[in-house]
Every structure is written in structure tokens, then in C-alpha cells.
């Protein structure tokens, strides 16, 4: 590891483990164990964990230390409410900045969806799903908005992957629905139909939230997402 940028490298490592579900929600993260594993002091590890707290992926609790964030149903609803507001603003701003090159980038991404669906590789499809939204954010030319959505998408990735783990049958039509909804958003945007594009985005986001809430509520009587897996 590059000792001059240890906190950032440790941050990327822990973030990757959280997003890939090597460690799961509500699991304690030992800064001592990570420091020992990497052969470094605990200071850069703690700096990385504090940064992850700021990004909503880790919680810091008195007498418990750091844990991977576990989400309540209320928190899921709050995250999606914020997401909807940001994504609708992104559609509005991106639509003003669309040109032929940017339209083609979005079209190329969507053209790859059928092959991803046929492959059955849900992880790769999820990445394409996220790429679609982040491209719209990129095309706003608004760096603060893009940063907010990027941070939020880390939390959404955790929720989506957790829902997938609950059942192999979770939203079996998920990929096809997402593809069709993305196509509608795209078509309305390139036709300069702002109101329709925003309605399509709003429906897409709320469908996603409702599916995740349904999966979480069916999995357990409690409202907190919680599994145990040692690091």
C-alpha cells in the first residue's frame, strides 16, 4: 500500500468489502484487526472508517466501535425520498445539456442491457443500472449533485444486494422492468419531454424502493437489516 495515501487506500478496501458483502450490515469492523492484517498502524484505518461514517456506510456507536450500517425501514424510505429529489433534479439539468455524443453514450449502455439480462449476471446488470443513473448525473455538469448521488448509490447498492440475498426469487422480473423503465426515461429525455421524463424517473425509483421494502419486511419481523458474518 502507498504509505503516503493510506487512509484513502484503506477506505477503498473497506468500502469494497462492504459493497461486495464480504462484511454485512450490523457487523463490527475492528480497526485493530484491519491494521494488523495490512501491517499498518490503526490511525489510517480509523481515518478511513470515519470517512465511511460520513458516507453512510458505517456507523460509530459508543461502547461498540464501528459497524457496517444496518438500515431501518424508515431509513430506507428516507434514502429513497432523497434519491428521488436528486434524480429528478439530475434529469432536469441533464436534459438541458444533452448533445448527440451524450445521447449516444446512453444509447450504447441501454443497447447492452438485453445481453446482460440473457447472461443472468445480476451483478453486472446492477452495475449497468447504476451506470445509467450516474451518467445522467454526469451530464448535469453539476459536481456537487454528482457527488451526492454517488455517495447515495453506495447505500443503494447495499440495500439492493441485501434484497437479492434474501431470496433467489426476489423481483424475478427486475431486470426487464428496469430496462423498460430506463428506456422510457431515455426516450422522454431525448424528446425533450421534461415532465414525462421526471414522472418516469419517479415511478422507477418508487418501484425500486417498494420492492426492497417488501423483501426486507418479508425476511424478518424487525425493521433493522441485520446479518452476522465475521470479517
Give pTM, 2 decimals.
0.79
Give pLDDT, residue 3: 61
pLDDT of residue 223 exceeding 50: no
Please give the share of the chain, as a percent, with pLDDT higher than 70.
Answer: 87
Give per-residue burial for 116-144: e unless 16+ CB within 10 Å, then b: bbeeeebeebbebbbebbeebbbbbebee
Per CATH, the number for 73-219 is 1.20.120.530
**CATH 1.10.10.10 spans which residues of the chain?**
3-68
- Tens digit of each residue's pLDDT (9 = 90 or more) over 94-123: 999 999 999 999 999 999 999 999 998 877
Q: Which three cell numbers mark 88? A: 429528478
- State whether CATH 1.10.287.70 applies to domain 3-68: no
User: 225 falls in which pLDDT band (50, 70, 90)?
Assistant: very low
**CATH 1.20.120.530 spans which residues of the chain?**
73-219
Helices (H) and strands (E) in the chain, counts: 10, 3
Amino acid at each position: 500500500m502507498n504509505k503516503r495515501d493510506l487512509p484513502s487506500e484503506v477506505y477503498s478496501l473497506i468500502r469494497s468489502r462492504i459493497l461486495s458483502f464480504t462484511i454485512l450490515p450490523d457487523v463490527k469492523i475492528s480497526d485493530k484487526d484491519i491494521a494488523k492484517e495490512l501491517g499498518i498502524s490503526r490511525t489510517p484505518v480509523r481515518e478511513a472508517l470515519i470517512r465511511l461514517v460520513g458516507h453512510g456506510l458505517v456507523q460509530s456507536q459508543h461502547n461498540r466501535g464501528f459497524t457496517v450500517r444496518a438500515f431501518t425501514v424508515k431509513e430506507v424510505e428516507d434514502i429513497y425520498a432523497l434519491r428521488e429529489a436528486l434524480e429528478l433534479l439530475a434529469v432536469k439539468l441533464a436534459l438541458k445539456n444533452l448533445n448527440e455524443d451524450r445521447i449516444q453514450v446512453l444509447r450504447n449502455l441501454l443497447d447492452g442491457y438485453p445481453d446482460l439480462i440473457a447472461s443472468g449476471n445480476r451483478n453486472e446488470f446492477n452495475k449497468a443500472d447504476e451506470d445509467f443513473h450516474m451518467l445522467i448525473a454526469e451530464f448535469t455538469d453539476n459536481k456537487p449533485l454528482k457527488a451526492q448521488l454517488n455517495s447515495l448509490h453506495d447505500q443503494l447498492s447495499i440495500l439492493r444486494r441485501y434484497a437479492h440475498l434474501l431470496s433467489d426469487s426476489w423481483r424475478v422480473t427486475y431486470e426487464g422492468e428496469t430496462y423498460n423503465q430506463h428506456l422510457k426515461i431515455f426516450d422522454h429525455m431525448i424528446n425533450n419531454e421534461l415532465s414525462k421524463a421526471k414522472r418516469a424517473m419517479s415511478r422507477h425509483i418508487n418501484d425500486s424502493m417498494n420492492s426492497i421494502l417488501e423483501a426486507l419486511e418479508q425476511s424478518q419481523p424487525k425493521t433493522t437489516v441485520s446479518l452476522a458474518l465475521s470479517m
